[in-house]
Structure formats: structure tokens, C-alpha cells
Amino acid sequence: MEYVIANLNDIDEIIKIKDEVKLRLKEEKLNVWLGDYPTYELIYEEIKNGRGRIVKENNIILGYASLHHINLEYPSDTFCHNDLYSFSRLMTRNLSLNKGIATFLINNMLNEVKDKCYGFGLIVDDCNIKAINLYKKIGFKFEGYSKQIYGDFINLTYYYNNNYLDLINYDLANLSSLNTILFNKKLYKTKYKILGVKIKDLRLYSKKLDLNYFNKLNDNVNIENLILASCLLKKLKEEELINKINLILKYCDTWAITDSIATNVIDIGKNPTYYLDYILSLIKSDKEFYVRCAIVILLNQYKKIEFYDKIKELVKNIKIDTYYVNMAIAWLFCKMSFNDSSIIDYVKNNFNLEINKMFLQKRRDSLRERKIK
């Protein structure tokens, strides 16, 4: 057998293989490759652009696939890594089934680009059990779920060299669900991959990790990686805690991370005066989520009335006016107002109309919750 780049002279034979595969899928009652997919035009274009790969024996084409970078077909948040290749429209002739053609084709694609990328990523219909088993046998691993415009899929990845975070992410994938992914995507916006693991499961998993975890964070982190890091903040104190908060904030682009940090920095609650200068440095930042982090730390760790005047003094240093900062301010002073009613007039006289509206809405929501309880 030989593995070669397809050319346009091969297209008629490839289309015949496609028709065989579609009929086979229909007979097996697999709900994939519906309608006219994959179209003649699609296969023509990928061959024309050098992406088609075939297996031949005695000048007979036995199998075909399209080899391409993931960015060509998938959104950037589909996999934990972006530097990946993928293959699509893998097909083999009926006469070559169970003869290792697909495995031969896949292994050659893996070898072809191993010096160009970190690995491979695939999305597969969960009903396509034969394909999933084949990919896993070759070495692909389950990396969670994804929702594409054309359906829901499971993610499989093959990394040439698994690093520390890759192994953790494979563990996390087994705790994930598509429903949690969809819920979290509605809850907050982020540039990072969302694996879809519930917070309670992340807290439990974090107990397996040591502080060396912080040294493994890199630009390929996902949201769950950052939340795990925030859970580890419970173990830290003083300068080490400050350094690790700063490390997490370097990646932060959503309130979900800042608010997780704020609930886990328990040493700040135990030693609040030590951290006031640090809180002020965050508040003076021109970065939205640094400022929000400071505010929600005040909310979670400076609950005693004796700190209220200091909180007012600190918040006066805020220079940026954004939704997530303003919402945090409103939330902070709402909590304070239930211990000190004078806070209501203070907010009215010292903050803009947007914060006042948010503050009043927060109070209404809180009063409603208290009545229910």
C-alpha cells in the first residue's frame, strides 16, 4: 500500500467510495453524513488545495481523507490546544473493510505533520461507535464535548507529547458534560476553552493537586485550569498568595475567575490588614478584571463593619467604568447596606446612575431571596 496526496484525476473514484460509504452508513442506521454531504464541490476543493490524502494499492484507491489544520473547520475554542491538525471525511471502500486501510491512512497523516503541530483533534458523532473505537485504538483520547452548528459531538485528541496539563484535562473531560458547557457559555464570555466541569467537581479534583500546578499554567489553559488554580489559593499565605493571584489574573478575561479567586483567598479573611495595600494596587489598575477581583475580595473577605470606611476609601480610587466593575461595586455595597443602612444614601450620593440602578436591583433581589428563605 502507498500513501499519497490525491489529485483531481482521482476525484471520480473518491466520489464512488463516498457513495459506498453513505449507503453503508444508511444500512447501519448511523445518523451521520446526512443529505448530500460530503458534496462533490467540497471534495474537489480540498483535493485542489492539496488537502486530499489517499491510500492506493495496485493503482486502486482504497481510502480517502482530508488533512487540514483545525482552524479550517472548527471554532478556536473546540479543543484545549489550537496548534492542531485534523482529518475529515475519512472513507474506505467496501472491499477493503477490516483490512487496516483506515488505520494505515490515519497513522500516515499523524506522521506527515508531526513536526508541524502539537497533535490532532477530531470531533465525532457519539453514535459512530466503530469510528470512536478505531481512533482510541490508535491513541486518541476523550477530551470532552463540543456543540457545532451542525450538531453535538465528542472531542478526541492525539498529542505527540502529553504535558502535565494535558493529562489533567483528560481527567477533567471525564467529569464534563455538554449541558454544563452550554450553561457556562451562556453565563460568561471567555476566549478560553470551556470543558464543562461543575464547580463542586473542580473543588474535589483540586485536592489531588500540589502547588507545582501553578508552574504548569501556560497560554493553552482552559477555564477549568484557572478555576483549579484559584481553588489552590486556599493553601497559600501572604506574598506567596499575592504572587499566585497575580499569576492567575494574567490569564483572566471573565468574572468567573475573579469571583472564584475571591472565595478561595481565605488567608486574606484571616489577616485582612496585611493585604490592604495589595487590594489598593489592584483597584488602581486599568485592567477590568484586576479591579473586579479586588472588589469581590472586599465583598468576600472584608465583611466586618469595622472595614466599611476603609472600603469606601479604597473604592474611590477606581478609575475605570465598565459593566463588570460597576456590577461588583453595586454588589459589594448592597451586602454592606444590610449591616449599615446609611450605605443606601452613601451609594446614592457617591456613585453614578448605572451603579445606583444596579445597587437597587441587587437589594430587591436580596430582599426577595430573604423572604423566600
Tens-digit pLDDT string for the chain (373 aa): 999 999 999 999 999 999 999 999 999 999 899 999 999 999 999 999 999 999 999 999 999 999 999 999 999 889 999 999 999 999 999 988 889 999 999 999 999 999 999 999 999 998 999 999 999 999 999 999 998 888 889 999 999 998 999 999 999 999 999 999 999 999 999 999 999 999 999 999 999 999 999 999 998 999 999 999 999 999 999 999 999 999 999 999 999 999 999 999 999 999 999 999 999 999 999 999 999 999 999 999 999 999 999 999 999 999 999 999 999 999 999 999 999 999 999 999 999 999 999 999 999 988 887 766 5
Instruction: State the Cα–Cα distance between residues 225 and 355, nearest whole angstrom.
Output: 32
Distances (CA, A) of 136 to 139, 141, 147, 156: 5, 6, 21, 8
DSSP annotation of 255 reads H
The whole-number pLDDT of residue 165 equals 94
Q: Which amino acid is at 336?
A: M
The whole-number pLDDT of residue 332 equals 97
Instruction: State the Cα–Cα distance between residues 139 and 135, nearest whole angstrom.
Output: 6
- According to CATH, what is the number of the domain 2-161? 3.40.630.30
Q: Which among 172, 251, 245, 242 is positioned nearest to 218, based on CA atoms?
A: 251
N-to-C CA span, the chain: 71
Strand partners, 63: 55, 92
Q: Is the dihedral of CA 292, 242, 313, 297 positive or negative?
A: positive
Neighbours of 108 (CB within 10 A): 17
Residues 129-155 as b or e (16 or more Cβ within 10 Å = b): eebbebbeeebbbbbbbbeeeeeebbb
Instruction: State the Cα–Cα distance between residues 13 and 29, nearest whole angstrom.
Output: 24
Omega cis (within 30) before 272: no
Contact call for residues 253 and 289 (beta carbons, < 8 A): yes
Q: Which among 176, 72, 164, 70 is positioned nearest to 119, based on CA atoms?
A: 70
Give the 3-state secondary structure of residue 331. helix
For the chain, how big is the Rg over CA atoms in Å? 27
Domain with CATH 1.25.40 in the chain: 265-373
Percent helix, strand, coil in the chain, to 5, is 55, 15, 30
Report the greatest alpha carbon distance in the chain: 88
Domain 265-373's class? mainly alpha
Q: Which among 206, 211, 218, 199 is positioned nearest to 241, based on CA atoms?
A: 211
Helices (H) and strands (E) in the chain, counts: 17, 7
Q: Report pTM.
A: 0.89
Domain with CATH 3.40.630.30 in the chain: 2-161
The whole-number pLDDT of residue 372 equals 62
Give the 3-state secondary structure of residue 156. strand
Instruction: State the Cα–Cα distance between residues 3 and 63, nearest whole angstrom.
Output: 9
Q: Which among 106, 136, 113, 112 is positioned nearest to 124, based on CA atoms?
A: 136
Contact call for residues 76 and 108 (beta carbons, < 8 A): no
The whole-number pLDDT of residue 272 equals 96
The whole-number pLDDT of residue 201 equals 98
Q: Is the dihedral of CA 142, 216, 261, 269 positive or negative?
A: positive
